[in-house]
Amino acid sequence: MSEGCRGCTGHCCRDIVVHVTPFDVSRIAAAQSLDPLQIVEPRETVPGDGQNGEAFGARIDATGRLFSSVLRKGALDQSACQFLVHLDDDHARCGIYADRPRVCIIYPFVVRQGSIDVRGDARCGPGDWNMARLDYASVRRELAAYSAEWHACARIVEAWNGAVEQGNRSPSFASFTSFAHRVAGAVASDTSLDVGVLERWDEAQLSAELETARRAWLDHVSIAAQSAIRE
């Protein structure tokens, strides 16, 4: 468990809406033997949603509104993530910690002017994180992988919305979730892809080799999405 999470009271798992990618859902579904619809529910996108406030989402009804996928809340505690395990009145822990979404892995860190920093709105206490002992290399890798999968999620949503607009798919959250799950699974199972590029996604100065690998990875996501549309 991360150092800062040892004294956690679970506030970040109660009052934050957790937006997830199809890759997060795929990992959780496999590890917990859950159907994707047991993991996520739709939430209409609003300005400020998503990485860097980029609000995009899938068309799942006839209104033209856009919805993103967020972790479901608990049946007994609608303010808390369904995977939050309550230990006592003051402490709670993530029940899927090893398989938690990347956005949870990187919390509460951001890159600010090239350096790792703690978010200004973090629910963590001021002494929870010892920045001098932080594994910066690991955090940077996770931040980069999160950014990569968020870009891939945009490709998946774009393919879905295009299919809905062309009448090739009937909009519903269940159909979109199943589609996105298939695409994420196809990408994750392709051993020909350079998955190492994910951990270097946001390098300040991209080499020609890395830029080519980035384009190839995203292009593969698009190809997998188009293939799933045709199924």
What type of residue is 167?
Answer: G
Confidence label for 221 from pLDDT (cuts 50, 70 and 90) = very high
What is the average pLDDT across 117-144? 82
d(CA 219, CA 109): 29
Confidence label for 177 from pLDDT (cuts 50, 70 and 90) = very high
Confidence label for 6 from pLDDT (cuts 50, 70 and 90) = low
pTM over the 0.75 mark: yes
Domain range holding 50?
3-230
Number of independent structural domains in the chain: 1
> Which of left, alpha, beta for 114 (phi over 0: left; psi -120 to 50: alpha)?
left
Percent of the chain with pLDDT over 70: 90
User: Phi and psi (nearest 5°) for 126?
Assistant: -60, -25
Give the helix, strand, coil percentages of the chain, each rounded to 5.
45, 10, 40
Q: Enumerate helices (H) and strands (E) in the chain, giving the number of each.
A: 5, 6
Planar angle of CA 122, 124, 127, nearest 5 degrees: 125
Q: Which tens digits make up the pLDDT trace of 56-91?
A: 799 999 998 999 999 999 888 888 899 998 777 667
Confidence label for 21 from pLDDT (cuts 50, 70 and 90) = very high
What pairing do the DSSP bridges indicate for beta strands 40-44 and 67-71?
A: antiparallel
